[in-house]
Amino acid sequence: MALPSFNRTARPSQPPAARRAWRLAPAMLAAALAATLPATSPARPPQVQAVQGERGPLRMVTLTAGLEFPWSLAFLPDGRMLVTERPGRLRVVGRDGVVDPRRVEGLPRVAVVGQGGLLDVALHPQFAANRWIYLSLASGDADGVGTEVVRGRLVEQAGRLMLEDVGSVFRMAPRSTRGQHFGSRLVFDAKGFLYITLGDRGEMQRAQRMDDHAGSVVRLHDDGRVPADNPFVKVAGARPEKFTVGNRNMQGAAIHPVTGELWTHEHGPQGGDELNVMRAGRNYGWPIITYGANYGIGTRIGEGTARAGMEQPLMHWTPSIAPSGMAFYSGSAFPAWKGHLLVGALRGQALHRLELDGEKVVHEERLLQGVARIRDVRVGPDGLVYLLTDERAGRLLRLEPGPR
């Protein structure tokens, strides 16, 4: 099966094999492209904007701009940040916002198709000792495109960062010719298990299939082995990696700081974006139940909003905010936010602060409305909040307490 022609730069006159190689540009091609881009280091001090929040004044600091559709970030022990760019580059950003013009070397091939590309990045819980980092990406072959997770050791030589011992930890199956709903958040829990969120790849019925990874959370050991206590290990015909069933497209995931459980949010269709707690073996309903509706025509999908044996969301957003990126706040810079959940919004172009009472959302504040499409949300080791904007010249923003 030929790969879909999502990459508009492929030349029609090329034979299919050549076009496929172009779409699956290896890291060396990404490096060549990166060399033609201007350096993204800020030419002047960071821009600062005052923001008034319900719990007090804030400052929004633009640390840097010019990142090409940044998708995720992770903090290194020395305070530098790793930032993924969807077209296939892994960048290093200093604590001052200065971007190293040299990308991290040694990445595997990335399929830049539709919503796919280089997506999430996460550090191993024992990164300081083993140097493992994990990347989720779209990869492709003759059968199509799918989400893949790789890991490699991050090493530094002569001031340059590169990946060594790169290998695949997980490869989604079956593949697809579609270019949407890759999911792709990576989260480690306190026991060291790796959770991978996966979308339905735009083929909704796949989310209810037990022999299909699509539309589920996958749970693995850090090296890709399947835990013996995964809920479907002994279910005939089921993929043993699966932890949940019936999810649409989860682009936000975080471990609750008290319960240790995985919380996610997912995109709904024309409404019905959901916030959920992921529990072993549970069915979250898509596409049998949903609070969303068919695009354009607004007709009902499936059976309605409820069915016995299927989970109800903790909350849903209708109309859709298109959530992406999520973090529980547990720092000290914003004591009034302790335990709150921060959710980025693409369509909604805002940062949502959710106050919780257990698993109930009791209040919602929408901050930074209209600033940009928020792709990722992270709490830094300094207790400040870091955001990535989904733009061709994407920004790295930092939220700080404002003067009182």
d(CA 292, CA 273): 7
Looking at residue 99, what is its pLDDT? Answer: 96
Q: What is the pLDDT along the chain (404 residues), one digit of tens a residue?
A: 333 333 332 323 333 333 343 344 444 334 443 433 444 444 457 899 999 999 999 999 999 999 999 999 999 999 999 999 999 999 999 999 999 999 999 999 999 999 999 999 999 999 999 999 999 999 999 999 999 999 999 999 988 999 999 999 999 999 999 999 999 999 999 999 999 999 999 999 999 999 999 999 999 999 999 999 999 999 999 999 999 999 999 999 999 999 999 999 999 999 999 999 999 999 999 999 999 999 989 999 999 999 999 999 999 999 999 999 999 999 999 999 999 999 999 999 999 999 999 999 999 999 999 999 999 999 999 999 999 999 999 999 999 999 98
Note the CATH architecture for domain 16-45+69-326.
6 Propeller (2.120)
Looking at residue 44, what is its pLDDT? Answer: 57
Catalytic residue among 124, 181, 267, 352: 181
Cα–chain center distance at 106: 21
For the chain, the C-alpha Rg in angstroms (whole number) is: 20
Looking at residue 23, what is its pLDDT? Answer: 43
Nearest CA to 172 among 138, 195, 204? 138
Looking at residue 404, what is its pLDDT? Answer: 80
Q: Say how many C-beta atoms besides its own lie within 10 A of residue 378's C-beta.
A: 20
Looking at residue 13, what is its pLDDT? Answer: 32
d(CA 118, CA 199): 15
The letter for the amino acid at 11 is R
Cβ atoms of residues 60 and 66 within 8 Å: no
Cβ atoms of residues 248 and 216 within 8 Å: no
3-class DSSP state of 32 = helix
In the chain, list all ranges with CATH 2.120.10.30.
Answer: 16-45+69-326
Active site residue 181: yes
Nearest CA to 355 among 367, 337, 369? 337
d(CA 218, CA 239): 9
3-class DSSP state of 404 = coil
Two tokens, residue 77: 């022990």
Cα-based angle 27, 175, 236 (whole degrees, multiple of 5): 130
Cβ atoms of residues 280 and 352 within 8 Å: no
Give the phi and the psi of residue 19 in degrees, each rounded to 5. -65, -40
Bridge partners of 171, per DSSP, are: 148
Two tokens, residue 203: 């083929």
In sequence order, what DSSP letters do the residues of 271-287 get, joined into one string? S-EEEEEE-TT-B--TT
Nearest CA to 377 among 367, 215, 336, 199? 367
The letter for the amino acid at 90 is L
| Strand locations in 94-223 (E) | 118-123, 132-141, 144-157, 160-171, 186-188, 194-197, 217-220
